[in-house]
Amino acid sequence: MREVKIAPSILSADLRCLAREVEAVARAGADWIHVDVMDGHFVPNLTFGMPIVAALRRITSLPLDVHLMIEAPERYLEAFARAGADRLIVHVEACPHLHRVIQGIRGLGLRAGVALNPATPLSVLEEILPDVDQVLIMTVNPGFGGQAFIERMREKVRRARRMIDALDRPIELEVDGGVGPENASDLVEAGATVLVAGASIFEAPDGAEAALRRLRQAVE
C-alpha cells in the first residue's frame, strides 16, 4: 500500500486563531498544510496570498502545499518561494506556457504540481507528466470549501493513477474537494496519495484533531 498523506486546507480553519488550528492538526499527524490562494479571476472567490504563507512558515515546519487558483501564476512564483512555500501547484487551465511555469517552480528549488478542474481531461497531462512532482485532481469546482464531492472524479483518479504508474516516477496524486472519512478509503484505493480536506477537518463538531485522526483511520 502507498503511503497516504493528509493535507488539511486552512481555508476552512478559524483564521482568528490560525496558529492554534495548525498546531492542532500537526499534533494529530497532518503531513502537509494546504493553502488555497484565489484571485477572484480564475475562480469566483478571493482568499489569501504571500503574507499568510509567510505567517504559516513561522508557525509550522510542515511542508506548505500552496494551491494557486490564480491567472498567470508565473508572476508570483518567486514571491511564494520567498514566503516559504515548499510545493507550488498551478492550474493547467491558467497556464498556456505550462512547461515554462513548471520549470520556473523547479528552478526555485520547489516541488511543482499541476491541478486539473473537474471538466479538464487527463489528456492535458500527456506532455507534462514527466516534469511534475504532483498532480492534483479537483474533485469539486475550485473556489469554495465545503462543497460536495463529484462522484465521477473517483474514476478520473483511477485513470490518473494508471498514467503515473506507467511512468515509474514518484509523482504524488492529490485529491482536493469534498474529501472526508466517508470517501477517503475509496480514493486511496483508486490511487490517491494525498488527501486535501478542509471542511471535514476544521468544521467537525468534535474538533480538528479528532477529525484528522478519523480521516487517518479511514485510510489505514
The span from the CA of 5 to the CA of 62, in Å, is 12
154 is a site residue for Zn ion (CB under 5 A): no
Is 144 known to sit in a ligand binding site? yes
Selecting among 31, 36, 39, 65, the annotated active-site residue is: 36
Residue 176 annotated among the catalytic residues of the structure = yes
- Give the helix/strand (H/E) hosting 114: strand 111-116
CB of 203 to ligand DX5, least distance (A): 8
H-state helical runs in 29-183: 50-59, 77-83, 98-107, 153-167
DSSP 9: B
* Three cell numbers written together for 19: 496558529
Binding region for Zn ion (CB under 5 A) out of 43-51, 66-74, 102-110, 184-192 = 66-74
Is 207 known to sit in a ligand binding site? no
| The one among 38, 67, 88, 204 contacting Zn ion by CB under 5 A | 67
174 is a site residue for Zn ion (CB under 5 A): no
Q: 9 or 60: whose CB is closer to ligand DX5?
A: 9
Is 178 known to sit in a ligand binding site? yes
* Rg of the Cα atoms in the chain: 16
* Three cell numbers written together for 112: 511543482
The span from the CA of 88 to the CA of 109, in Å, is 11
Q: Nearest-CB residue to ligand DX5? A: 198
Backbone φ and ψ of 120, nearest 5°: -85, 125
Which of these, 119, 117, 105, 191, lies nearest to 154 by C-alpha position? Answer: 191
Is 91 known to sit in a ligand binding site? no
Parallel/antiparallel/unpaired status of strands 194-197 and 172-176: parallel
Q: 46 or 167: whose CB is closer to Zn ion?
A: 46
Q: 45 or 159: whose CB is closer to ligand DX5?
A: 45
93 is a site residue for Zn ion (CB under 5 A): no
Selecting among 31, 65, 133, 176, the annotated active-site residue is: 176
- Per-residue CA distances from 202 to 25, 122, 126, 161, 197 (Å): 9, 30, 35, 28, 8
# residues near Zn ion by CB under 5 A: 3
Q: 67 or 161: whose CB is closer to Zn ion?
A: 67
Catalytic residue list: 36, 176
User: Which residues contact Zn ion (rule: CB under 5 A)?
Assistant: 36, 67, 176
Residue set of the binding site for substrate = 9, 67, 143-146, 176-178
